[in-house]
Homo-oligomer: A and B are copies of this chain.
Amino acid sequence: MEPTRPRGRRPAGTDTRGAILAAARTEFAERGFEAASMRSVARRADVDPALVRHYFPDRTELFAVSVLPETANPVEVAERVVAGGLPGLGERLVTEVLTVWADDDGEAFRAAVGLMAGGVERPRALVAYIGRTVFERIGRLVAPDEVPLRVGLLASQIAGLLMVRYVIRMEPIGSMPIPQVAALVGPTLDRYLTATLPSPRPGP
């Protein structure tokens, strides 16, 4: 449908972002996070490197978006979760997160775990991106003390819940309706966000 393609390059357009993401998935899978480059992704996607940077400011964000399901929009998720304020936030967050990864019955999440295993930088990149887009917005709702700790506790429960539901598929959680899982796990997230945390004992 493209009449001419000067310099053999794909022009900016509707599925350019998708083509870059597909190229990134191949690049990360074949070369790993550390060796992957934005330039090589551009070459694989047949676009100008500047266009890659237009959609994805850095490799971290490119990696993170490439392992999320295509329909996921973390900014919208965060806005919906935060819009209701603190009451019921944990339950809303579980519902949104499970729904995002449920679209393909967890396939994208299993692929992400596969890509992340064996390297520390890759899961950190995903967490940094989710942190920027989702957790910082949520963090603004809670007392500003100990936000990194509260976010870490939140992440620990959410990551494990995704493992149990979409990787291990432990029953009954593996096939329980999402609202029911949210009612069980939501209060844990609320506690991590708002409860008075035990003060650290004096270290050694």
Contact of A117 among B110, B149, B173, B183 (CB under 8 A): B110
Taking the closest CB of chain B, its distance from the CB of A16, in whole angstroms, is: 30
Tally A residues with Cβ within 8 Å of B.
Answer: 48
The proximity string for A residues 134-178 relative to B, scoring 1 for CB distances below 8 Å and 0 otherwise, is 000000000000001101110111111101110111111100110
Contact of A160 among B163, B176, B179, B184 (CB under 8 A): B163
Among A159, A161, A173, A198, find the residue whose CB has the most chain B CB atoms closer than 10 A. Answer: A159
The proximity string for A residues 170-204 relative to B, scoring 1 for CB distances below 8 Å and 0 otherwise, is 11110011011001110110010000011011011
Query: Which one, A5-13, A58-66, A118-126, is touching chain B?
Result: A118-126
Do the beta carbons of B152 and A170 come within 8 Å of each other?
yes
Flag whether A113 is at the interface (Cβ < 8 A): yes
Do the beta carbons of B149 and A155 come within 8 Å of each other?
no
Copies of this chain assembled into the complex: 2
Flag whether A20 is at the interface (Cβ < 8 A): no
Q: If A116-B167, A118-B114, A188-B191 touch, does A180 touch B201 (CB 8 Å cutoff)?
A: yes
Do the beta carbons of B164 and A152 come within 8 Å of each other?
yes
Do the beta carbons of B164 and A179 come within 8 Å of each other?
no
Alpha-carbon gap, A148 to B167, bound state (A) = 17
Q: If A117-B114, A159-B164, A185-B156 touch, does A201 touch B172 (CB 8 Å cutoff)?
A: no
Do the beta carbons of B127 and A168 come within 8 Å of each other?
yes
New contact pairs (5) apart from A123-B168, A149-B173, A157-B188, CB-CB < 8 Å: A124-B169, A127-B168, A152-B164, A156-B164, A156-B185
A contact set with B: CB distance below 8 Å: 110, 113-114, 116-118, 120, 123-124, 127, 148-149, 151-153, 155-161, 163-165, 167-173, 176-177, 179-180, 183-185, 187-188, 191, 197-198, 200-201, 203-204
